[in-house]
Structure 1
Amino acid sequence: MIDVRHFSVQETLRNGVNVEIRALHPDDGARMDEAFGNLEEESIRSRFFASKSGLTEQEHRLIRELDFDSQVMLVVTLVEREKEIIIGTGSYSRIGKDAAEVAFIVEEDYHRQGVAHRLLWHLGLIARERGITRFVAEVLPQNRAMRRVFASSCWPMTSKKEDDVVHITLDLTQEPIGWG
């Protein structure tokens, strides 16, 4: 079984940049604040469905106390000027026995480099091992990039547009094929 608390893999992005995808650490609060500060307003609205100026105290508590059972968060980091920086995050939160809501956010300079794809791959494998059979996500219709990430994943996808949200479901019961 994957040791999620100590999960760490090295990956190379499409642009050749080497990154580490690892479990969120309890001491990542300042790095997460810095990463949030580097996001453009459009990315924040696409992820949180609203404007937001920073992480809340509740979100900082989650960083410090993440249980890696009902909630899992991975971060994508690189070293810049001898300092580890977070360029993307992916997480899932259980909603019931066998489903989880999945979400991502990636710094704009690293869009279209495979960051969200890699996060989805690793989160999916971790979730499957823990009995989660489907990921669900809510995506704004104009967030084509995120919809493409889900559509090109290695798991079957269904989607349904209701009002101003696209509801996406990935079937994790199928063996992953296509990329990894």
Structure 2
Amino acid sequence: MQARDYAATEILRDERRVEIRALRPEDRAALLAAVSRTSDQSLYRRFFAFKRGFTDQEVDFYINIDFVSHVALVAVLEEDGRPMIVGGARYIVGQPGQAEVAFAVDDAHQGKGIGTALLRHLVVLARQGGLKELIADVLPVNTAMLKVFGTSGLGITTRQEPDTTHVVLQLS
């Protein structure tokens, strides 16, 4: 299966089914709606800055991806009979064999295993893409994300920087 066609179903901690699938250009409005439901604190943990709005250029960057050097997945839950994007994860290749990862889950759906599921599926695609490492800089207060990485079953090294924890996940 090609990355741009990726789709899988997971069972969350609360027994709900979540679809983990490739981000599509037509997800633009749903992705922006997910951002609007996310607290300032959660957005700060994702972007390291208080960021409420995005320029058209930034939105285009996040939506229009090539699924080779930039791969993105979304988590979709059924809410009130409608599919709703509740989280997302992506990696961007920075150098051969290595990519930086980033995750976001809207506040109402944190703590249910969505970040863990997104990481598991992002790893599948990263390995298919020939990557050896995933890296991330995480704010020390973002203990939930550090736990997702720490319990991933992957080889992990961390290094404390002045304002972040630098995480390297080994894929092989």
Q: Which band: TM-score by shorter chain? A: over 0.9
Q: How does 1:1-180 map to 2 (within 5 A)?
A: 2-173=1-172
Q: Deviations over 1:13-68 (max 9, x none)?
A: 10111111110011111001100000011100000000111233123213442100
What is the TM-score with the length of structure 2 in the denominator?
0.96
Q: Deviations over 1:106-152 (max 9, x none)?
A: 11122121111111111111101111000000000111111001011
Supply the distance in 2 between the matched residues of 1:147 and 1:13 (Cα, whole angstroms).
19
What is the TM-score with the length of structure 1 in the denominator?
0.92
| 50-59 vs 142-151, greater mean Cα deviation | 50-59
Asked if the contact 1:28–1:63 (Cα under 8 Å) also holds between the matched residues in 2, the reply is no
Supply the distance in 1 between the matched residues of 2:65 and 2:92 (Cα, whole angstroms).
11
Q: How many residues align?
A: 172
Asked if the contact 2:100–2:135 (Cα under 8 Å) also holds between the matched residues in 1, the reply is yes
Aligned CA-pair RMSD: 1.1
TM-superposed CA distance for 1:85, in Å, is 1.0
Percent identity at matched positions?
38
Letter in 2 for 1:48: F
- Structure 1 residues without counterparts, runs of 5 or longer: 174-180
- Structure 2 residues without counterparts, runs of 5 or longer: none
- Moved segments of 4+, more than 3 Å: none
Supply the distance in 2 between the matched residues of 1:146 and 1:64 (Cα, whole angstroms).
23
SS of alignment partner, residue 26 of structure 2: coil
Asked if the contact 1:19–1:76 (Cα under 8 Å) also holds between the matched residues in 2, the reply is yes
